[in-house]
Structure 1
């Protein structure tokens, strides 16, 4: 009897110890991750290098004129973030610099043993104080994620384009994707920064046969390959900020929607009503999401704290959020902040849960 009792105690102890170890190893996070006016950005793009994570994005002010440049945040744990440096400091650019405008949605990709920075900007002039008439894509490279970055080429396209991203296929060919009243694509030679052929528009926001939640606008492409299929995440801001998913058998398409509904995001009837109306979307045709946000969008994927794929977005609090939230926003809540969520792959497609705002626990999967 004593042996049986001792065996049972030992088994319980081992199970309890294992549970305690799993709990201790769990990654805990609460969105928004950043809650600091000084660290506020939109369009967060995160890259893991060694044991650290780095993040860049669109700095404030976003809409009122030239912003200060391309900043880099740094974190050891994905929870605590600090300013590392300015990869491009707008105050240090010469007056005749052709990319001294708004620095929207920069991204950093590690390809061919170098770091490639895409920046979307234009030239500020007296007639164009925001540089939007020449707003397009610029390519920089560096040997280290923290720089210094040197200009490779730009503008990469002869027209307004924004939200550029890069993707390297297994054969070494690299592709550029971007937005601009629709989504565009082209192969690119990274060392020279020159497109192989002209940039091609492959999806319009009012594409025939596509759902009307895209009609307000589509942007922010991000491409990844899984099981010989190419997937493109993109964002739409017709009803708030939502993320859609496309797939294709080749990196240049043909692209088709994976789901007739967004796979992630927030939507609010009272937010941006003029855009919803302009996009042809009646407020009566959808329900508000339960989250306290009015924006959770412009996502990109990165390697998370558990070694799996995660998604980053900018999260912006909604003034009309329900109780128990205060009706008066704190200073950090009036600005976009970083939000993250796990990404799952199942039955030939990617999934994401709804945006979270309470503490979440993610236990790393055991290696088999």
Structure 2
């Protein structure tokens, strides 16, 4: 398994890489200014860092999508492209809490970097509350939406929810609570379960997620269920008792998290994530721009569970 340049792409947090059937790799992430959505594409992973970042959407000056554009993901669903992201209404903070909601854009062109993007509006869930970090996956012929959201009736900042989709911007049925922050490593600084990502291997479906504050305490946890089980039944999901990926002080890698999964050119599984190489952050960690995109191969043990090891040190 090869080592990738580390950092892979600088100053891009919440990274998402898609290997599409057209032979291209696509990349999107949060930009430090939180004011726009960018896409890159390249024929190989190695070419992504040098690929031109094309702005496909900018936030308006006012309204519900006018502040703090967070954690975009690019998905190809039923022949069209979709960008999912979270945004807040200006002013960004009300009553001391972020007020993000989830939104979707659609593009029908073959090339999402040059095609026209249409705003499909807000994606509504079961509660009108802080919500973010949506992802999409297909399982057993059904489309699912997976995201993080605050429930005022549950202690903490955000939980993980799952729902089937009526269409790429509309949920179907009542969402299911899959996980809430409850273990000691999930509640440092903030009580958080967020940034979910899905991968399947063998006879299991896995959901990785990030927990705790976005400083050096940020880390990745894991849920899993039998691949043939009813994934909308919370009882079918198991939670790892410890993080599967966390800070490595010896490698100067702090707060690894908000990951996605992709494949290399040989079809092997890769972890895409962000992390800083220092802890001396001035002010709110959210506004420190140096959460860099990084890539690491995934190994699987004899029991069919992912082994992520530790975040490797910078090599450039």
Give the TM-score of the pair, scaled to structure 1: 0.69
- 2:253–2:312 Cα contact (<8 Å) kept: no
Q: Which residue, 206, 209, 222 being the options, matches 1:245?
A: 222
| Residues 317 and 28 (structure 1), Cα distance of their counterparts in 2 relative to 1, 3 Å cut | closer
Larger proportion of strand: 2
Larger-gyration structure (1/2): 1
Is contact 2:300–2:306 with CA below 8 Å preserved after alignment?
Answer: yes
In 1: Cα distance, 2:242 partner to 2:92 partner: 43
Are residues 1:204 and 2:172 paired?
Answer: no
Are 2:104 and 1:139 equivalent residues in the alignment?
yes
Pick closer, same or farther for the CA change 1:139–1:127 going to 2, 3 Å. closer
Q: Does the 8 Å contact 2:193/2:212 carry over to 1?
A: yes
- Give the Å deviation of 1:318: 1.1
Q: CA deviation at 1:114?
A: 2.0
Question: C-alpha displacement at 1:28, in angstroms?
Answer: 4.8
Q: 1:170 aligns with which of 132, 137, 140?
A: 140
The change in CA–CA distance for 1:305 and 1:203 in structure 2 (over 3 A counts) is: same
Bigger fraction of residues in helix: 1
Is residue 186 from structure 1 mapped to residue 142 from structure 2 by the alignment?
no
Is 1:68 paired with 2:35? yes
Q: CA separation in 2, counterparts of 1:234 and 1:127?
A: 24
* Aligned mates of 1:87, 1:124 — CA distance in 2: 21
Q: Give the structure 1 partner of residue 15 of structure 2.
A: 44
2: CA distance between counterparts of 1:291 and 1:334? 20
Q: Is 1:290 the equivalent of 2:272?
A: no
Report the 3-state secondary structure (helix = DSSP H, G, I; strand = E; otherwise coil) of the residue aligned with 2:185: helix
Describe the shift of the 1:316–1:127 C-alpha distance in structure 2 as closer, same or farther (beyond 3 A): closer
Q: What is the CA deviation profile of residues 120-172 of structure 1, one whole-angstrom value per residue up to 9, with x for unaligned ones? A: 11222498599933x1111222234324322234142322111111111132x
Name 2:55's counterpart in structure 1.
86
The 3-state SS of whatever aligns with 1:83 is: coil
Q: What is the root-mean-square deviation of aligned Cα atoms in Å?
A: 2.8
**Where does residue 284 of structure 2 map in the other structure?**
none
Deviation of 1:335 after TM superposition, in Å, equals 1.3
Residue 211 of structure 2 corresponds to which residue in structure 1? Answer: 236
In structure 2, the CA distance between the partners of 1:228 and 1:250, relative to structure 1 (3 Å rule), is farther
Q: Number of residue pairs matched? A: 282
Once residues 263 and 142 of structure 1 are traced to their aligned partners in structure 2, the CA distance between those partners, rounded to angstroms, is: 35
| Equivalent in the alignment of 1:271 | none
Which whole-Å CA distance do the structure 1 matches of 2:206 and 2:92 have between them? 41
**Is the 2:273–2:295 contact (alpha carbons within 8 Å) kept by the matching residues of 1?**
yes
Separation in 1 of the partners of 2:77 and 2:245?
Answer: 28
Unaligned regions of 5+ residues in structure 2, if any? 150-157, 281-287
